Amino acid sequence: MKNIKEAPFLQEITRLTSNMYRLGWDERNGGNVSYLVSEEELKDYIDFSVIRTLPLNFHAPELAGKIYLVTGTGCYFKNMELFPETNLGLIRITEDGDNAELLWGYEDGGKPTSELPSHLMGHIERLKIDPEQRIVIHCHPTNTIAMTLTEDLDEKEFSKKLWRANTECIVVFPEGVGVLPWQLCGTIQIGIDTSKKMKDYRTVIWANHGIFGTGKTVDEAFGLIETVEKTAQVFMIARPNGILNTITDAQLKELTDAFGVTDQVKEGWLG
């Protein structure tokens, strides 16, 4: 068997988590990632034997047999690159959808992030829309959280404030962003409510907490979060001085027409 630490998918995730830590988006043990890995990608690195079985605490038969690389509960993103074998785990969802089989990782006796239900529910919903869906990223970007403290949490209004502040936003997320009012984290309920939002949005913001980004690639999901956070930063810098100039609805329509995303904008959001 090859050294799994050299596997491209593992290196990609450890680079991602280290980068998010350096950006200040994942303080302490904040944030979590889940990434769908194929058996083809794994066959040279593990023998697929089950180390132990972990309860999912919810029913996910839609994901039976799928294997996810998942960050561990209580783990620090700054340690992922150095010690992936304790901070990450490969889990396979059992056929009944009630448990996960650990195939590699969590060598210190650890287990997946407490937000695993939210992640897997998100995967279920996004796979219905995009069969190539592979990744869910949750992190705590500073300016996005700050914006939930000062702005109305109505999705249309929140999305349009981002669109109006930065030209690329409506092109990157023409469907807008989902927004959830504060809820207790790590619960089944917040997973249910987040996954409902993911029927319409690839990005969901948790007020006073953080953001979820999804996609078929690491770059796509990270890029969504990166664009929201950069724009939230611009908005929060400008806000105290008074915002004089924004992109108009007519100009937003020009952008969506030019980039071929008009049909992804919700009806009535551009006047």
Which pairing describes strands 210-215 and 135-139: parallel, antiparallel, or unpaired? antiparallel
pTM of the model: 0.95
Is the CA virtual torsion 181, 26, 22, 133 positive or negative?
negative
Averaged pLDDT of the chain: 96
Which of 130, 111, 136 shows the shortest CA–CA distance to 33? Answer: 136
- The domain in which residue 18 lies consists of 1-113
Which of 96, 113, 130 is the last residue before a domain boundary? 113
130-142, pLDDT tens digit by residue?
999 999 999 999 9
Residue 57 has pLDDT above 90, yes or no: no
Mark out the alpha helices in 173-242 (DSSP H runs).
188-197, 218-238
Say which of 6, 27, 62, 115 is annotated catalytic: 115
Same domain, 144 and 214: yes
Task: Give the span between the Cα atoms of 185 and 159, in whole angstroms.
Answer: 23
- Whether residue 85 lies in the annotated active site: no
* Predicted local confidence at residue 58, as pLDDT: 87
The mean pLDDT of 31-55, rounded to a whole number, is 96
226-256, pLDDT tens digit by residue?
999 999 999 999 999 899 899 999 999 999 9
Q: How far apart are the first and last CA of the chain?
A: 59
* Predicted local confidence at residue 23, as pLDDT: 96
Same domain, 7 and 29: yes
Instruction: Classify residue 42 as exposed, middle or buried by CB count within 10 Å of its CB (0-12, 13-18, 19+).
Output: buried
Split at pLDDT 50, 70, 90, the class of 271 is confident
Q: Looking at the 3D structure of the chain, how many domains does it have?
A: 2
Same domain, 100 and 122: no
Same domain, 154 and 77: no
Same domain, 26 and 137: no
